[in-house]
Amino acid sequence: MAIEPLSVQFVCLGNICRSPAAQAVMESLTASDPRWQGVVVDSAGTAGYHIGRAADSRMIAAAKLRGYDLQSRAKQFERRFLCSRTLILAMDRENYRDIMLLATGAAPNVRLFSDYLDESWPRDVPDPYYGENDGFEYVLDMLEAGCPKILEEILSKKDSLHSQ
Ligand code: 4NP
């Protein structure tokens, strides 16, 4: 059987703020270290409100100031990702519940992003869409704290993941 590449799927509600930013932060990390090369990174939204649209201009601008280039086009999360992704990371508990509604049984590869953060951070990556600009900065702070930990974990489990 062909071995699928390790893959990480970030999921938020609209796929125009938090998850595309998470994708960009993660892609910047995977490009920076040969150990992480080949990890596939993707993002999606549980809702289909913004399908085909670029990321929110406020998120694009905040990310650009930190060196991230958001090139995403919004798409909706699909059930098939549940079996094709190594790890699916919900930005908040509502996203997590919505993903699990599509799962027919246990889905141990679905996790909350904040599972990778210490308790100084909130459980949910807060939705910045209806807020002020500092909300976008806070999201990026959380993503930059969590993404390296996620990569460390999936690399440490690489052999067992591939033998499943
Ligand atoms: P995201 O933010 O889930 O981080 O992409 C949102 C974007 C759009 C909406 C809600 C959240 N909306 O209601 O349109």
Where are the domains positioned within the chain?
Answer: 7-162
Please report how many Cα atoms fall inside a 13 Å half-sphere around the Cα of residue 130, on the Cβ side.
1
Cα-trace Rg, the chain: 15
Determine the pLDDT at residue 2.
Answer: 60
| Level-2 CATH architecture, domain 7-162 | 3-Layer(aba) Sandwich (3.40)
Q: Where are the beta strands (DSSP E) in the chain?
A: 7-12, 40-45, 87-90, 110-112
In whole angstroms, give the CA distance from residue 156 to residue 64: 31
Q: Determine contact, residues 74/45, Cβ cutoff 8 Å.
A: yes
Q: Determine contact, residues 25/147, Cβ cutoff 8 Å.
A: yes
Say yes or no to pLDDT of 54 above 50: yes
Whole-number Å distance, alpha carbon 81 to ligand 1 midpoint, is 20
Whole-number Å distance, alpha carbon 12 to ligand 1 midpoint, is 8
Ligand 1 pocket, residues with Cβ under 6 angstroms: 12-18, 45, 49, 127, 129
Percentage of the residues of the chain whose pLDDT score is greater than 70: 94
